[in-house]
Structure 1
């Protein structure tokens, strides 16, 4: 696997650590924002679940994105979330230089039941990174509703979003 991909994903995951370090545990677990009444922590947990499924499924060549652990400790404990992020980052670093030119079976529910699609490790990790960014965008809306202002440049923005349109949170 190319180190540039790992570096980019780990930087994006590092943004979640920056967020966690910038907010209170009460803000992390606040469920007062509709329409879903989920917490920032639950969005962080959900994004990490995606990476966890990838790592867990590598040995068997059967990555099942519907088999998420949904560890509520990560949703409610910012320290546990940061530990999980660090563990995922360490695992991703271990992939650098490893041959990833083979196909993996990835199962997900696309809305009409489970489907299995072939991916490379780099492509499923790129999708996981984009998925995390999507949830960061939701978190940005939640932060605005909670009147919590912090600045993490580019947080919640797809890298293809023109820089003049980015404001960060």
Structure 2
């Protein structure tokens, strides 16, 4: 799972290296005014929350209470540096062990759910979460005429890519 997460983060870093500050901060009407930078920040924050929980040997992971760093959404170079730190974490550590996911799924009250999980399961969640946001980033790239900067599988789950390839072969 760590290799797949590193591959995903490297894919994001390569994209960021090819964007100008204006492209990174472009607020797409197709995405309710959100920017690529905002989606990148959101992806990074989830991976960071997980890595910090692991380093601190916490038994609970709570993405709702993650730190939010607006500078990452405004500065692609800072995002790249943070991605590199996350890749270093994934290279250094064998991310295993049990942990509970703590989350509040209600709009009406502050009732936290505690769901048994593991660090590897949460890595899988971070990867799926990233792919989802990459699909949204791809919309902004299309809106800006920049979709050529990513391949066709950017923002597409590997299982979907494989299923589509199988259908084409038949």
TM-score of the two chains, using structure 2 as the length reference? 0.85
1:162 is matched with which residue?
A: 161
Q: Give RMSD over aligned pairs.
A: 1.8
Measure, in 1, the Cα distance between the counterparts of 2:158 and 2:19.
24
Distance 1:163 1:54, change over 3 A: same
Q: Is the 8 A contact 2:62 2:102 kept in 1?
A: yes
Please list every run of 5 or more consecutive structure 1 residues that lacks an aligned counterpart in the other structure.
Answer: none
Measure, in 2, the Cα distance between the counterparts of 1:149 and 1:35.
15
Q: Is the 8 A contact 1:18 1:152 kept in 2?
A: no
1:110 is matched with which residue?
A: 105
Deviation at 1:35, TM superposition (A): 4.5
Query: How many correspondences in the alignment?
Result: 159
Measure, in 2, the Cα distance between the counterparts of 1:69 and 1:150.
33
Matches within 5 A, 1:47-126: 47-58=43-54, 59-96=57-94, 100=96, 102-112=97-107, 113-126=111-124
Deviation at 1:71, TM superposition (A): 0.3
Measure, in 2, the Cα distance between the counterparts of 1:17 and 1:42.
15
Structure with more helix by fraction: 2
Measure, in 2, the Cα distance between the counterparts of 1:60 and 1:9.
21
TM-score of the two chains, using structure 1 as the length reference? 0.86
1:36 is matched with which residue?
A: 32
Instruction: Report whether the alignment pairs 1:147 with 2:145.
Output: yes
Q: Is the 8 A contact 1:56 1:63 kept in 2?
A: no
Q: Is the 8 A contact 2:37 2:74 kept in 1?
A: yes
